[in-house]
Every structure is written in structure tokens, then in C-alpha cells.
Structure 1
Amino acid sequence: MERILIVEDEPKIADLLQKYLGNASYHTDWLNTGIGVSDWVRREQPSLILLDLMLPGKDGLEVCKEIRQFSPVPIIMLTARVEEIDRLLGLELGADDYICKPFSPREVVARVKAILRRLQAFSQLAAGGQTLENNANGALLELNRDRLLVRAGGRDITLTLVEFELLAALLQQPGRIFGRDQLMSKVYTDNRIVSDRTIDSHIKKLRKKLAEILPGQEVIHSVYSVGYKFEP
């Protein structure tokens, strides 16, 4: 049974989420403070985290940042602060998605199912050790779907699910220019309305990570007013 960690300081909201996720056959755990979440995640390794932005002790953005230092576990941020900067900051720190309060618990369950289905699909593709490969200026760029890893020159980095999907889409068709709406449709398959800046935020984070294993090389290029392309 897949295990969902709920980090939420409002007991009524947490109880509602636990009931709906439980009815969808997920096992749930609940923490009501940001303190100690990272240690809990290291120890218990949940399948997905629902993380409230405003938490006592330590806010959700700081918790997200800490978790991303060691784990690619999917994180959906829950927030009542709808300002665009908060959404973008959450994504730049490594969140996979966000849901604004007040929300329908059915929507939360649907989002959880969508992300876990994508992870399951990646796991199935990874059976037998399948990878995506591309030569970037002589350096082999290898994507490991099972572990959400990218490797080049003997070094590797861990991506979030969204970052991995974006890089895989771009890498499979080098030189092709993808519009932001095309990339959004590959990442957010539930046809929701997503700001172009959300994709820009994910791409910014992805570029920063790739620079760690491909120093001095630019492989994801912006095409003004159009979108992005992968081209070593």
C-alpha cells in the first residue's frame, strides 16, 4: 500500500485528507509541525508528501528545501497564500505541484493519484535497467527512470518527477522547440490551467542541476517567445 505523509497543522483538514485518502486505499501518516519532518522522511520513506506552506516551528518551504537535499519524493504543497511568488518559490525549491486552499479533497486525491501513476509508469519503463542516453558535447547524458537520476562524466544528480519528465521530453527530440503549453501537457496531464511561469520555474531549477554535472555547458536553450529546446 502506498504511503502518504500529510504535514498539516489544522486537525480538521488533516482528518479530512486522511479519510478521503484512506477511502482511496492509501495509508496515511500525519505530522502537525515542520520540525522533524526531514528526519521522519529519511526514516520512513513515504510515497508522496502533502506539505502545508504555513506550519509551526518551520515553514513548508524550508521543509521542502531540506527534503530535496536527499530525496526526490513527490511533494504537493498546500497553501492559502495565492500570491504568484509563493507558488513559484515552492516550485523552485523542488515541489512537484501545489493546491490552493480552500480545496476539494477529491481534487487532492486526484492529484495524488496522477503523480503516483506517473511514478509507476516510470518504474515499469525502468524494468530491465532501461535508460535514455544522449551525447552532450562528448559527455554521455544518461537518465535513469527508476531512480530519477541524471548522470554525465561519472557524476549524477537527482531530479524531481517534474524535472525528469521535462528533461526526458526535451532529450528524446534534440533540437525540437517545445512550446510551454506542450511541455505543460506532458507534465500536467489533468488539463489544469498552469501559468507559463510555472514551467519557467521548473526549467530554471533543472538548468541549475545540470550545471553541476555539465559545468560550462548549456544544453537547454530558451527560444524567445516560443519555449525551450535541448541542444548540446
Structure 2
Amino acid sequence: MNNQYTIAVVDDDTNIRLLVEAFLQKENYRTVGLGSAEEAWELWQSSPPDLWVLDIMLPGMDGYEFCRRIRSEAEVPIIMISARDNEVDKILGLELGSDDYMVKPFSPRELVARIKRQLQRWYKLNGPEGQPSSSPVRIELGNLQLLPEERRAFWAGEEVDLTSKEFAMLQVFAENPNRAFTRDDLLNFVWGEDYFGSDRAVDHLIKRVRKKIGRLPIEAVWGHGYRMRYEGGDPSQ
């Protein structure tokens, strides 16, 4: 079934780009090779791929800015690649919404394995053919209302635009009010049990949700993780 997926490889190093594409094509993926984020943005607007392999250091618009723009519109999987083996760079990539981060030089076989896992997680989260999997029709918790089958969220009657991972995280909390989850719990629920990256991805995802819903009562549990507080009334109080 891999041949249903198109992978965009964005890297100004032609040798790396062609090498990655060759390994992906052996696994029956369709590939599109691009040398700049500007070209990638044109592809996104005309024929968006199923996953991005994105270099950070690009001429013109860099990978960080491109990732930020994509994340403002969709939750399509993004794997960043870079020669920078620096924790700050990795954290920034995760904070902007990348799903994984690999340091050059890397094993093309490992990259292909990570791509497979990202696509598996994506379709596990969204269901076959991009459709939501079996879920409750409606979840209500004070000011919060979720419609899982439609992937729609409302706060105090106003619709909130969430990415798929943001929605999945919120649904976990809404279905389990007052339960404290560890970061590993949340990684397993939202990203899948075979997630490669740092548990900081949880902190960054919660930060994004809080930014969109300022009075959302998700709180840190010291030394443990997070929970959504709910006392039976309006959770925003």
C-alpha cells in the first residue's frame, strides 16, 4: 500500500536528495525532489504530499519558516533533517511542529523506517483514507465541546481551529477529566508507542493548545505530567 503515498524531499544538496529519493522509491513511495522551500510551498499549494522530509538550512526561506507555515494550515507529517546536532535546534524544530528530527549524516534506511512509522501513526490517528476512526459522537466538559467524528472543537460556543495532534491530545484529556497523565502516556496516545523523539514534544503541543484556548484548564502535575482539571462546573473557572 506504500505506493499511495507521496513523499516530498526538500534539500538543496542534490546528492542527499537523490539518495533519499532512491531509497524511498525502492519501497514503492512516490517522491518529489525540491531544492528550496519556495518550490516546496508551490507544491503545497498545488499538490500537497503525504509527508515532508525537510532540510533546515535552505537558500532563501529556511526549513523552520517553512515548517511554521505548513503547521499554520495542516498537520501533515514533517521530518526535519539537519547537520546541526544541537539540542536547541531540535527543540525549536519540535516547537514549530515537526514530528521527528534526524542529524546528518544519517542512515537512509533509518529515515525510511521513520517515515513508515510517521505514516502509520498518521493514519492510525485519522483512520483509513484520512477519515476519523470510531469515536464518540460528542464530548462535553464545561465550556469545551468536541465532535470527534468531524474533528471539530468548540470553546464557549466558538469553534477553535486545531491540528490533528492538538485535537487528539485534547480528546484524551476531555475523556479523562482530572486524571494525571505522564508525558510518556501522552506520547503513546498521540504519537504512538514507537515514537522516536523527545517527550518535549508533549510540552510544545500543550503550549500550542493553550495558546489557542487561553482558559483551558490543563495544568502541570509536578514530577508527573499533565491533567485537565474539572470540578463538575465550568472548567474555565
Question: TM-score, normalized by length of structure 1?
Answer: 0.84
Q: How far apart are 1:88 and its partner, in Å? A: 1.4
Match status 1:135 vs 2:133 = no
Gaps of 5+ in 2: 230-234
Q: How far apart are 1:129 and its partner, in Å? A: 7.8
CA deviation string 1:61-87 (max 9, x = no partner)? 011111222222111111221211111
Alpha-carbon spacing, 1:136–1:149, altered in 2? closer, same or farther (3 Å): same
Could you tell me whether the CA contact under 8 Å between 2:5 and 2:50 is conserved in 1?
Answer: yes
Task: Find the partner of 1:182 among 182, 185, 210.
Answer: 185
Match status 1:44 vs 2:47 = yes
Which segment drifts farther, 201-210 or 25-34? 201-210
Task: Find the partner of 1:228 among 207, 214, 226.
Answer: 226
CA distance in 2, matches of 1:129, 1:190: 22
For these two proteins, the number of residue pairs brought into alignment is 223
Match status 1:27 vs 2:26 = no
CA distance in 2, matches of 1:41, 1:20: 23
CA distance in 1, matches of 2:161, 2:40: 23
Gaps of 5+ in 1: 212-216
State the partner residue of 1:214: none
Could you tell me whether the CA contact under 8 Å between 1:150 and 1:159 is conserved in 2?
Answer: no
CA distance in 2, matches of 1:15, 1:22: 10
Paired residue secondary structure (2:161): strand
Question: What do you get for the CA RMSD once the two structures are aligned?
Answer: 2.4
| Identity level (%) | 36
Question: TM-score, normalized by length of structure 2?
Answer: 0.83
Question: Matches of residues 30-179 of structure 1 in structure 2 within 5 Å?
Answer: 30-121=33-124, 122-124=126-128, 126=131, 130=135, 133-144=138-149, 149-152=152-155, 153-161=157-165, 163-179=166-182
Could you tell me whether the CA contact under 8 Å between 2:81 and 2:102 is conserved in 1?
Answer: yes
Q: How far apart are 1:144 and its partner, in Å? A: 4.8
Could you tell me whether the CA contact under 8 Å between 2:145 and 2:153 is conserved in 1?
Answer: no
CA distance in 1, matches of 2:195, 2:34: 31
